[in-house]
Amino acid sequence: MRNANPARETGDDFRSLRQARGRRHTLGRAGLYLLATVMALWVLAPIYLITITAFSPRDVVREYPKQVIPREFSVESMDFFVNSTGVLGSLWNSVLVALITLVLSTIIGAPAGYALARFAFKGRDPYRLVILSTRAFPIVILSIPLAVTFLTWGIYDSIYAVALMHTALAMPFTVLITSSIFVSVPHDLEEAALTLGCTPLQAFLRVVMPLALPGLAAASIFTFVLSWNEVFAAVILTLQERTLPAHVLGVLTSSPPHFRFAAAWFMLAPSLIFIFLIRRYLLGLWGRISR
């Protein structure tokens, strides 16, 4: 008689099983949130520490043991850094190099991206493969021979030398990213514009460009950050006309701690803003081109 009502019994079993699973599920969820928070703190804590260090007065920077809660806000260290010899000049160089890189790599790379996205032609896949394989190329191997070449061209130790090198580095990204952006603009719209009497150029400028613009802007910002952060090529290709990271690296060992920390924050801050601006595109930028 024990199994008089098997259906009900299994029902109970199911319910308790589900409850047990539910409890485990809630626990698992809580664990996930904990893990997520710990990893977020791991990323954010060093940024917090460098920020409070960079905005502390010089004697607090030297103080030991250090306090996690800042007592005094001061731009003394930052002021010292910005007004040190060579910093403003190298900052200006960095901005110029990044802008030239951005313009050059877009002008040269975006048409290739468009071609890869819109046309089926012989050699399309091999070209894509070449671009893919140049994506993570040793910057070291390009910098040294290019330094020798630029010496003979007479542009060694100039912002153009660094910008040309950075463009070569950014080019694969620009081609792949723009290609994926143009792929995501529906071809039908372009064809409709052609049917309605647009020339191919008009269709491109009036229909494709407006739709592709946000993605292209994100790609440009990404290129800017790439150039802003690059240091090896910059330090090899210049002696006087340094970019900001190259200048900081050059004087690093001979500079006091508060200079170093202010420099780190100064190089970090624009990147944080830029990454924030393109946060919605990050997955697309990196995810798509890795396929």
Show the site string, 158-197: x = touches another protein by CB under 8 A, - = not. ------xx-xx--x---x----------------------
The 8 Å CB, 24+ separation contacts for 164-168 are 164/104, 165/233, 165/237, 166/97, 166/98, 166/101, 166/226, 166/227, 166/230, 166/233, 167/100, 167/101, 167/104, 167/105, 167/108, 168/142
The answer to whether residue 231 forms part of the interface with another protein (CB under 8 A) is: yes
The answer to whether residue 30 forms part of the interface with another protein (CB under 8 A) is: no
The answer to whether residue 39 forms part of the interface with another protein (CB under 8 A) is: yes
The answer to whether residue 58 forms part of the interface with another protein (CB under 8 A) is: no
The tokens of 175 are what? 């081609």
The answer to whether residue 201 forms part of the interface with another protein (CB under 8 A) is: no
Q: Which of 27, 35, 75, 129 binds another protein (CB under 8 A)?
A: 35
Separation CA 178–CA 246 (nearest Å): 29
| DSSP structural state of residue 287 | I
Quickly tell me which residue has 């493969």 as its tokens. 129
Q: Which of 9, 12, 18, 36 binds another protein (CB under 8 A)?
A: 36
The answer to whether residue 236 forms part of the interface with another protein (CB under 8 A) is: yes
CA distances, 210 to each of 75, 186, 205, 220 (Å): 42, 12, 7, 15
CA distances, 181 to each of 15, 88, 121, 287 (Å): 49, 36, 19, 12
Provide the CB-side half-sphere exposure for 251 (13 A, CA): 19
Q: Which stretch binds another protein (CB under 8 A): 47-55, 84-92, 95-103, 208-216?
A: 47-55
The answer to whether residue 124 forms part of the interface with another protein (CB under 8 A) is: yes
Least distance in angstroms from the C-beta of 140 to another protein? 5
Least distance in angstroms from the C-beta of 288 to another protein? 7
The answer to whether residue 22 forms part of the interface with another protein (CB under 8 A) is: no
Q: Which of 147, 155, 183, 251 binds another protein (CB under 8 A)?
A: 147
The answer to whether residue 245 forms part of the interface with another protein (CB under 8 A) is: yes
The answer to whether residue 153 forms part of the interface with another protein (CB under 8 A) is: no
Closer residue to another protein (CB): 96 or 142? 142
Separation CA 157–CA 235 (nearest Å): 9
Closer residue to another protein (CB): 80 or 127? 127
